Amino acid sequence: MRFQKVVLTGGCGRLGRYVAQRLRPHCDLTLLDRVPAEEPGLVRADITDYEALKRIFAGQEAVVHLAAIPNPRTAPADVTFRINVQGSWAVLQAAEDCGVRRVVVASSDAVLGLHYNPPGWGPRYLPIDEDHPQRPIDFYSLSKECTEAICRSYAARGRLQVLALRPTHIVFPPELPEIEARGADVQNYHLWTYIAPEDVAEGFACALQVAEAPYAPYFLTAADGLNTRPTLELLRERYGGLPPLRDPGWFAANPCAAILDARRARDRLGFAARVSWHDMVAARDAARTDA
Ligand SMILES: NC(=O)c1ccc[n+]([C@@H]2O[C@H](COP(=O)([O-])OP(=O)(O)OC[C@H]3O[C@@H](n4cnc5c(N)ncnc54)[C@H](O)[C@@H]3O)[C@@H](O)[C@H]2O)c1
């Protein structure tokens, strides 16, 4: 691994456990989280505590920053905004103060403003790349757009490298029972995009490993959607029409292709999602049979 001493914020969370498992064999990993847990290498701290972060980041080479309130349903607006935005600022500032060389930050495809917004706010074009306009109006998505602004600013200062990864909806095991229902739902709030947690963990490992790291946001998504009906058919039904197709071959090659285009992560980070939802369903069904 390019960096030997790595801190993982949010290391006790749902995604954090997968990222820790992926990174731990390859580096000296410190987990930072506010929850009381018995985890190897865990340091308890709050990411809004700038002084504590400086103590923890001293001598570290890289930080993977996942700690956040991960949706608009879990905590009040003010708490979510403070932890996600103030916390990300404190992580970046403390990392810069301590001479950390690279910080990889969990943003979200929610920055697009497609998930929690009014029904008419559809994609402006398809497939959606990282240059697509961002129109978040809910406090969680806005907190992630602000987080990306902070990332851009610290990268531009030039003292540390910053990458922002935008995973789409991560399907954790408790969600597997309803995966087919989500795919059939025309109003699916993630527009059917998904990714397995193992693949997101791989994306963070790629972002730590890549040699050149100029600032950019990167979508992390599976290549297809959760839908079994063609993606364009569902979009037409949902919005009453379709936006322009930036790449007409996209849905010709796979009618159930994801609306998000993750080719930037493929080309620059060497990332490719490997787990499809069909694999997840097969594993789920095999476990039911065994039980
Ligand atoms: N779950 C998804 O589908 C998804 C999709 C895109 C992006 N993300 C992003 O990925 C990251 C991880 O999400 P997750 O689903 O694992 O969430 P999670 O809630 O399971 O994990 C977040 C972790 O951060 C910790 N944390 C929260 N506030 C903290 C604070 N003030 N100080 C220290 N630790 C704190 C929590 O204790 C928890 O262990 C988040 O940044 C989230 O926005 C998640």
- Average pLDDT, 10 consecutive residues per value, the chain (291 residues): 96 98 97 92 97 98 98 96 98 98 98 82 95 94 98 98 98 95 93 97 98 95 97 95 94 97 97 96 89 76
Residue nearest to atom 35 of ligand 1 (CA): 67
Q: For residue 12, what are the CA distances in angstroms to 28, 89, 91?
A: 16, 21, 17
Say which CATH class 5-171+195-225+258-274 falls into.
alpha beta
Q: Ligand 1 pocket check: which of 30, 63, 66, 175 to mutate, most ligand atoms within 8 Å of Cβ?
A: 66
What is the rounded distance in angstroms from the CA atom of residue 135 to the CA atom of residue 140?
Answer: 12
Residue 270 pLDDT: 97
Residue 290 pLDDT: 82
Q: Ligand 1 pocket check: which of 33, 139, 143, 151 to mutate, most ligand atoms within 8 Å of Cβ?
A: 33
Supply the pTM of this predicted model.
Answer: 0.97
Residue 37 pLDDT: 82
Q: Which helix (H) or strand (E) holds 8?
A: strand 5-9
Ligand 1 centroid to Cα of residue 168, in Å, is 13
